[in-house]
Amino acid sequence: MKGLFATRSGFSGLVLRLFLAVVFFPHGAQKVLGWFGGYGFTGTLNFFTNMMHVPMVLALAVFAAEFLGPIALAAGFLTRLAALGILLDMIGAVAMIHAHNGFFMNWAGKTPPVEGFEFHLLAIAIALALIIGGAGELSVDQAIAGEDA
């Protein structure tokens, strides 16, 4: 269990987890709270389950990864688990929606908007780095694991 909390010292883990948290929290807040123009919990859950035919358990896992994951990352608590959730979320988003749109995001403002998967690859890489190296400095994980981690 201690391995889950072990982390490399240094500030790279701190920087990676804080930036990933800042980028993902608005996505989760859209889905769960309806902030930032989102449809909120019920609206998004209905869209996922009825329109996209995503099983409810997977829809709830997406909500957890995008809403609770960034909160955990900001605190540096269960960093590897939170990063794994985001990594799997991004793989699912690429496989279900973005792969057929190509690599690039909608830089040209095409209508309807078609987003490629370049953003998702960056999120996957950051999440993978956190899974490998841990939370870094100023994290709950580091406090739990002790200074010798």
What are the two backbone dihedrals, phi and then psi, of residue 115, each rounded to the nearest 5 degrees?
-105, 125
Tell whether pTM > 0.85.
Answer: yes
pLDDT surpassing 80 at residue 107? no
Structural domain of 139: 2-145
Q: Spell out a b/e string for 58-93, using b for 16 or more CB atoms within 10 Å of the CB, else e.
A: ebebbbbbbbbbbebbbbbbbbbebbbbbbbbbebb
pLDDT surpassing 70 at residue 88? yes
Contact 101, 113 (CB under 8 A): no
pLDDT digits over 5-21, tens only? 989 888 999 999 999 99
Total count of domains within the chain: 1
